Chain A
Amino acid sequence: MARRRARLTQRELAERVGCRQATVARWERGDRQPAFQDVQEVVGACGLQLDAHLLSEDRSWWPQIALQMERTPAQRVRALAPRGDLPDVMAVLDALAETGEWGIVIGEVAGALHGWPLVLSDRTVEVCAPERPSVPILGGGRATGAGKYELPSGGRLSIVEVPSGTSGYEDLARGAESVNVDGKKVRVAGLLDLLRIADASPEPGARRHALAYQAVLNVQRAQAEPKPVDDRSDGQKIEAWLSEQVPAA
Chain B
Amino acid sequence: MLAGHRVAFVLIGGAAIQSHGRRYDTQDIDLTPATTPENLARLADALNELQCRLITDPADVGSWVELPSGYFTPRSLLAASVWNLATRYGQLDLCFTPEGFPGGYGDLHQRATERPVAGTTVVVSVAALEDVHESKRRADRPKDREYLQRDEETRSS
Interface residues, chain A, CB within 8 Å of chain B?
A: 55-67, 79-80, 83-84, 117-119, 121, 204-205, 207-208, 211-212, 219, 222-223, 227, 234-235, 237-238, 240-242, 245-249
| Distance in angstroms between the alpha carbons of A105 and B105 in the assembled complex | 43
- Check A63/B56 contact, CB under 8 A, given A55-B142, A58-B143, A211-B146: no
Enumerate chain B residues within 8 angstroms of A66, measured Cβ to Cβ. 61-62
Select which of A67, A211, A219, A234 is within 8 A of B66 by beta carbon. Answer: A234
Q: Tell me, rounded to whole Å, the shortest Cβ–Cβ distance linking B122 to chain A.
A: 13
Select which of A56, A117, A118, A223 is within 8 A of B140 by beta carbon. Answer: A56
Enumerate chain B residues within 8 angstroms of A117, measured Cβ to Cβ. 25-28
- Check A247/B79 contact, CB under 8 A, given A84-B119, A121-B25: yes
Known pairs A246-B80, A248-B77, A248-B104. 4 more at Cβ < 8 A? Answer: A56-B140, A204-B153, A208-B143, A238-B56
Give the number of chain B interface residues (Cβ < 8 Å).
44
Interface residues, chain B, CB within 8 Å of chain A?
A: 23, 25-28, 35, 54-56, 58-62, 64-68, 77-82, 84, 86, 90-91, 96-97, 104, 118-119, 140-143, 145-147, 150, 153-154
- Check A63/B84 contact, CB under 8 A, given A117-B27, A238-B65, A249-B78: yes
Interface centre among B54, B104, B143, B150 (most CB of A within 10 A): B143
Nearest B residue (CB) for A82: B118
Enumerate chain A residues within 8 angstroms of B150, measured Cβ to Cβ. 204-205, 207-208
| Distance in angstroms between the alpha carbons of A211 and B150 in the assembled complex | 14
| Distance in angstroms between the alpha carbons of A124 and B27 in the assembled complex | 19
Q: Tell me, rounded to whole Å, the shortest Cβ–Cβ distance linking A75 to chain B.
A: 12
